[in-house]
Structure 1
Amino acid sequence: MAAIEWSWSRLMEFMIQSAHQLEVSPIVKYSALSLFADRFFPSLTRYTVGSNGKGNWLLQPIRESNLQLFALIALWISSKIHDSRPVSVKSFKSLGDKIIKDEHFTTRDFLEAEIVFMQVLDFEIGTSNIAFLLLEELLLQFKGVAKVGELLRFEACMDIMDLLYEKEETSTLYRSPRSLAASTLIASYLITVPKQRWEFPILPWGKYFFPL
């Protein structure tokens, strides 16, 4: 996919900002990031070189605007998984009209893109083993063994996770949800907990429960 002109950081920033503008819950946002960054994008090469991806205009060629559309599709699918009242396709189309600059996508395009997205993922859209849920579990365990865990800000964890997703160099982390969760918690501990309160050996503990 060397011919694709796109910026990973710009694409992840687009996805994160879209989640904020749509005011989706954190579980919807991070499930969508996992679906897109961990699974959909790494599978594109395999899918497009096979017979399944040939001929579909959304994949031939793969433009940045098309990837932005698929990013919105990941959020839409995630909303349908986690929300009792999912965000409507009308809301996604309205947002796409505002922020996707290079191409105008119709409602029909959104529906077609959802099918393509699901095909690339072989219709496997489970989100039970994502970094966000593992991070919540790890933080709960941490608070159970150390009082200093109450000082760790979960909002800081989410900010760090956003930054890690935006950095393509850390792709090995977000392809391993456990490593991403452990790295995020450890970084948040070092940043948000006052140094004089560092009585808990966070790094060895994090490596024990979630090997980096």
Structure 2
Amino acid sequence: MTGELCPCKIGLRGRVLDFLIQSAHQLEVPPIVKYSALALFADRFYPSISSRQGSNTGHWLLQPLRESNLQLFVLTSIWISSKMHESHPLSVKVLKSLGDKIIKEQHFTSRDFLEAEVVLMQVLDFEIGTSNIAFIFVEELLIQLKGVARVGEHLSFEACMDIMDILYEKEDMSVLYSSPRSLAACILASFLKFSRFY
């Protein structure tokens, strides 16, 4: 999804997730990097810090929690994800350059990116595995469907990713699915329902 959303129609979470999707697009990272970053940030980091809101977190990046700080954590999530999935991961220099262009409220240094990585890892209890994310299950289900049904030949992986982006941006919808496997199945079912091949 490359279209921009009107900030007045979405809340903080939606704006930050749109920022993640747009940043991943601008950085031209592979889909696995984008969706791993979404899983790290949207499924784990953001809910954890939102539930701690008001408590003393002890780090200036989390207290007070500003949109610009969340944008820094978004870029950090993409950075961590690229380290896990790419042989040549993104550099802090590339991320800082993008941050300087698109984060309007605050200027972050390279050291801030390094601090954000440590804070994010601490919030996630240093558990960053991404084998249990919806993107992986969509890929697997798509391969299985192509192997057993003619309709699988007509499924668009890109369309499924667009649906996944929409689900991440719509807070009320993404909260409904606690299992990445069931979310992946729903994404494929949604595509089939609204395609002419169903």
Q: CA deviation at 1:173?
A: 4.1
Q: CA deviation at 1:174?
A: 5.3
Q: CA deviation at 1:41?
A: 0.8
SS at match of 2:88: coil
For structure 1, which segment, 177-186 or 73-82, has the greater mean C-alpha deviation from structure 2 after superposition?
A: 177-186
Q: CA deviation at 1:176?
A: 2.4
Residue pairs, 1:84-99, within 5 angstroms? 84-99=87-102
Q: Amino acid of the residue matched to residue 119 of structure 2? A: V
Summarize the Cα distance change of 1:48–1:9 in structure 2 as closer, same or farther, 3 Å threshold: closer
- Identity percentage of aligned residues: 66
TM-score by length of 1: 0.84
Among residues 30, 34, 39, which one is paired with 2:35 in the alignment? 30
5+ residue gaps, structure 1: 1-5, 199-212
Distance 1:15 1:39 in 2: 14
1:21 aligns with: 26
Distance 2:177 2:130 in 1: 14
2:180 aligns with: 177
Q: CA deviation at 1:172?
A: 1.9
Q: CA deviation at 1:191?
A: 2.6
Summarize the Cα distance change of 1:108–1:174 in structure 2 as closer, same or farther, 3 Å threshold: farther
Contact 1:47 1:120 in 2 (8 A): no
2:45 aligns with: 40
Summarize the Cα distance change of 1:119–1:174 in structure 2 as closer, same or farther, 3 Å threshold: farther
Measured against aligned partners, the alpha-carbon deviations of 1:147-166 in whole angstroms (never above 9, x if no partner) come to 11101111100111111111
1:83 aligns with: 86
Q: Amino acid of the residue matched to residue 82 of structure 1? A: H
Distance 1:107 1:138 in 2: 40
Summarize the Cα distance change of 1:173–1:154 in structure 2 as closer, same or farther, 3 Å threshold: farther
Distance 1:165 1:45 in 2: 16
1:59 aligns with: 62
Q: Amino acid of the residue matched to residue 43 of structure 1? A: S
Distance 1:22 1:140 in 2: 27
Measured against aligned partners, the alpha-carbon deviations of 1:77-118 in whole angstroms (never above 9, x if no partner) come to 000000000011100000000000000000000000000000
Q: Are residue 12 (structure 1) and residue 6 (structure 2) matched?
A: no
5+ residue gaps, structure 2: 1-10
Summarize the Cα distance change of 1:79–1:94 in structure 2 as closer, same or farther, 3 Å threshold: same
Distance 2:156 2:78 in 1: 25
Residue pairs, 1:186-205, within 5 angstroms? 186-192=189-195, 194=196, 197-198=197-198
TM-score by length of 2: 0.90
Q: Are residue 150 (structure 1) and residue 150 (structure 2) matched?
A: no
RMSD value, Cα: 1.6
Contact 1:38 1:174 in 2 (8 A): no
